[in-house]
Structure 1
C-alpha cells in the first residue's frame, strides 16, 4: 500500500487547487500494482489526490466530499427516461456504487427521450446497457444491473446496504410500494415524475409521508404521462434536480426538498414549491 501511495504522490500534478491524478497515470499505476482502477481511486482520494476527471467539481465538492461520494451506494429504480439521465449524472459525479433495476428492453419509442437508448441497443435490456455505459464513463464505479421488476417482495434484498434510492418509475402504485420499502429499510428516497412539459421532485426521509400525501387516494396505476407522453427535455431537467437532491443527501449539505414537492412547468417556465 505504501508503494502505491508513493507512486500516486509521484504521479500527481500539483496546481493551485491541489493534487491531480491523470487517467493515464491512474490506469498505469493500477496495472503495475495489479489492483483495480477502483482501488487506485479510493487510495488517491484518501490521500488528498483528486482524480483529474473530477477536477471541475473542486470549487463545489471538496476532496473529502468526493471521497464520501465514492464510498456511497445508490439504487436507481428504472433505467428509462428519468433513470438514464440519473445514472449518467451519478456516474459522472463519482458516486462509487450503483444498483440499477429495470426488467425492460429498449424499444423504438424510447429513442425520443431515453438517453441510454440507441438504434443498436434496441431489444437489449435497459439495466445491462446502463451498466455498460457506466463502465465506459467511469470504470472506478462498481455497478450491479438487476434485470427484474422492483416489488415489495424483492425490494429489501436488492437495496441491501444502499444509502439512497432514486425513483425513476412510471406508475403510481409501484412508487407507493417503493416509498414503503424505503421506510422499512430506513433509507431516503428521491422521487421524480414526468409528463409532457411537466414534472415533479421531492426528497422523502423514512419518517416522512410526502409521497403518500401527494398522491392521496389516486387509484390509477399510470400517471398522466400515459396521456401526455414525454419529449426529450423533460426527463433531463427532472433527473438533474433529482441528482442534485441526491448529492445533497449523500453529503448532508444544503437545503433539500424534504416535506416539499417541486412542481415544474417547462411550457410556462414556472417552478412552484408546495409544502406537504
Structure 2
C-alpha cells in the first residue's frame, strides 16, 4: 500500500505489515495522547483504544492536537476516533469515554499488546503500571512540564514509576511550569519510537532508565534507574 511506502526502509516489509495486527491502548487523549494517536495511526498500528473521560475546553487549544474551536465541549476520545477517520480510515479506533480508574482498568487494558501513558496525574499512572504488570503488558511512560519532559519504557515487573515518583504524589511539576505547544509533540514522538521498538522487537529500549529532556538548555540525558 502506497500509504506506508515512506516507512521503508526504516521498517522492513514484514515489520510494516505486522503493525496492522497490534492493539495499543492510549490512556489520555490530551496533550501527549493526541500526538500519540496521530503518530501510531499514521504508522499503521491496526487497533488503537483511546481512553479519556474529559471534554475539550479553551485551555486545551494551545497544545492539544485534537482540539480546535469547533471541538470545544466535545469528548476527547470521540474526537480521536473522528480525527483518525480522516487521517487513516484503515485504523480501528475504539473510544472509551470514561476516566481510567482502579475499578475499570483491567477491563480497559486487557487484550492490548502495549499501553501508552498520556495521563496528567501520578495516581492514575501508578494504577496503569500496576494493572499492566498484572496483565503482562508493557507500558511506555511520558510526562511533560514547561520546557521539560521525560520518557521511560516499563516492562512487567520493572516498577519504574516507583523509582520516579515519591509515594503519595498526586501531581507533577506541570501544575506550576505549565505545558506549551512543543513539548507534547517531542515527548510523544519519543514514546512512539519506544512503542515501535517494543512491537517489532528491535532496538535499545529506555528500560530501567529515563530520558530526561531540558529544551531550555538543550540537554538530553539518559539516567539509569
Question: TM-score band (shorter)?
Answer: over 0.9
3-state DSSP class of the match of 1:120?
Answer: helix
**Are 1:171 and 2:87 counterparts?**
no
Deviation for aligned residue 1:216: 3.0
The count of residues paired between Structure 1 and Structure 2 equals 225
Using the alignment, how far apart are the partners of 1:240 and 1:108 within structure 2? 24
Question: In angstroms, what is the RMSD of aligned CA positions?
Answer: 0.8
Matching residue within 94, 105, 109 for 1:144? 94
Report runs of 4+ in structure 1 exceeding 2 Å deviation: none
**Are 1:251 and 2:200 counterparts?**
yes
Using the alignment, how far apart are the partners of 1:252 and 1:207 within structure 2? 18
Which residue of structure 2 aligns with residue 75 of structure 1? 25
Larger radius of gyration: 1
Using the alignment, how far apart are the partners of 2:110 and 2:154 within structure 1? 19
Which residue of structure 2 aligns with residue 265 of structure 1? 214
TM-superposition CA deviations, 1:147-168 (whole Å, max 9, x none): 0010121111112210000000
Using the alignment, how far apart are the partners of 1:98 and 1:174 within structure 2? 19
Gaps of 5+ in 2: none
Matching residue within 112, 121, 131 for 2:62? 112
Which residue of structure 2 aligns with residue 240 of structure 1? 189
Using the alignment, how far apart are the partners of 1:211 and 1:130 within structure 2? 27
Deviation for aligned residue 1:213: 1.2
Using the alignment, how far apart are the partners of 2:34 and 2:127 within structure 1? 21
Using the alignment, how far apart are the partners of 1:119 and 1:214 within structure 2? 36
Trace 1:1-276 onto structure 2 (pairs within 5 A). Answer: 51-217=1-167, 219-276=168-225
Q: Normalising by the residue count of structure 2, what TM-score does the alignment of the two structures yield?
A: 0.98
Gaps of 5+ in 1: 1-50
Deviation for aligned residue 1:205: 0.2
TM-superposition CA deviations, 1:78-126 (whole Å, max 9, x none): 0000000000000000000000000000000000000110000000000
Using the alignment, how far apart are the partners of 2:109 and 2:124 within structure 1? 15
Using the alignment, how far apart are the partners of 2:110 and 2:164 within structure 1? 27
Using the alignment, how far apart are the partners of 1:187 and 1:177 within structure 2? 13
Deviation for aligned residue 1:220: 3.3
Deviation for aligned residue 1:135: 1.2
3-state DSSP class of the match of 2:202?
Answer: coil
